Amino acid sequence: MKTVRKSALAVLAMSAMLPLLAQASNPAITDTLTADPAALVDGDTVYLYTGHDEAKDNKDFYRMNKWLVFSSQDMVHWKNEGSPLAVKDFKWAKSDAWAGHVVKKNGKYYWYVTVRHRDINGFAIGVAVSDSPTGPFKDALGKALISNDMTTDTEIDWDDLDPAVFIDEDGQAYLFWGNTKPRYAKLKDNMVELDGPIHSLDLPNFTEAIYVHKHGDYYYLTYSMGFPEKTAYAMSKSIDGPWEYKGILNELAGNSNTNHQSIIEFKDRSFFIYHNGGTPQGGSFRRSVCIDDLHYNPDGTIQRIVMTSEGVDPVQSGVSRETAAN
Ligand code: FUB
């Protein structure tokens, strides 16, 4: 009897500890399909902005009409904040809510997105703005920020996609984007106008999903390489380059032929956020966001990502995976 009571108490004690020991898994979000992650650290919260795959199966193509937002304080528990932005919010856009990126500047949140233009052939980049990280967002310009007729040096009409904005320590913002040809331009302080010419970059086997971040003394430029895509990276001491190619950062993302990354630092840890087709019936057009740890070497290079099923340990709980196992 005593033993039974002791075991019951042990079970009770264990279940009381469960929230503390909560462990992530990959994919990190499983209640809906999420692709093309872009994360923003804002105080104690990480906001995760994603696309939403609606393809019925993986013989289909991308069916994407809106974007989603999730929030977390520990990188493990994600609150679904709904969909505060859709293609229909851009009157000049026709379809295709492809990859986007959100940054905060002067207390406002700017969401740069890929859409197909209604009147100008090809893909385009729009920008929406909000006073809150979870919206509502509204078209900040009433027209495209970048349209395909502004970049006429490729033969494809999908070269203007996957916007990513980097804001340097001096407050200067840069818009990066492109497919097959990586490009960047300065943004004015109002965040909705280019400030100067569009520059091209030279990156080996560049496909898309360009993303720029800074850590220590280095700028890092990550991007999808080849097809199916691996994530590669380059480093520089200056935002204007030259960029030194450093190799593969992430291997093929399982059964997804695209690979799209976001890299953040949150509470002294670094995270690599990407997508694969890891949910049941998942695949290249039914993708899901995953999160794994990212580690720098002492010389500033980045260790190759280890994609895991277990995901990351929670931030802030004070209970690491190792402690929990003991
Ligand atoms: O989600 C549609 C497209 O697939 C994105 O724009 C690319 O980055 C790739 O992930």
Q: What confidence tens digit (pLDDT) does each residue in 100-156 have?
A: 999 999 999 999 999 999 999 999 999 999 999 999 999 999 999 999 999 999 999
CA torsion, ordered 67, 178, 308, 68, to nearest 10 deg: -10
Regarding the beta carbon of 34 and ligand 1, being less than 6 Å apart is answered: no
Distance 215 CA to ligand 1 centre (A): 25
With cut-offs at 50, 70 and 90, classify the pLDDT of residue 214: very high
Which contiguous run of DSSP H or E holds residue 247? strand 244-250
With cut-offs at 50, 70 and 90, classify the pLDDT of residue 316: confident
98/125 Cα distance (integer angstroms) = 10
Contact between 183 and 177 under an 8 Å Cβ cutoff? The reply is: yes
Regarding the beta carbon of 89 and ligand 1, being less than 6 Å apart is answered: no
Atom 3 in ligand 1: which residue has the minimum CA distance?
98
Mutate to test the pocket of ligand 1, among 33, 34, 36 (most ligand atoms within 8 A of CB): 36
Residue 220, pLDDT above cutoff 60:
yes
Regarding the beta carbon of 139 and ligand 1, being less than 6 Å apart is answered: no
Residue 142 CB partners (closer than 8 Å, separation 6+): 91, 92
Regarding the beta carbon of 162 and ligand 1, being less than 6 Å apart is answered: yes
User: How many H-runs (helices) and E-runs (strands) does the chain carry?
Assistant: 2, 21
Mean pLDDT of 172-188: 98
Helix or strand or coil: residue 300? coil
pLDDT value of position 324: 41
Mutate to test the pocket of ligand 1, among 258, 276, 285, 287 (most ligand atoms within 8 A of CB): 258
- pTM for this structure? 0.91
DSSP 152: -
With cut-offs at 50, 70 and 90, classify the pLDDT of residue 15: very low
Mean pLDDT of 85-100: 98
Candidates 23, 22, 60, 35; CA nearest to 278 is 35
Distance 15 CA to ligand 1 centre (A): 41
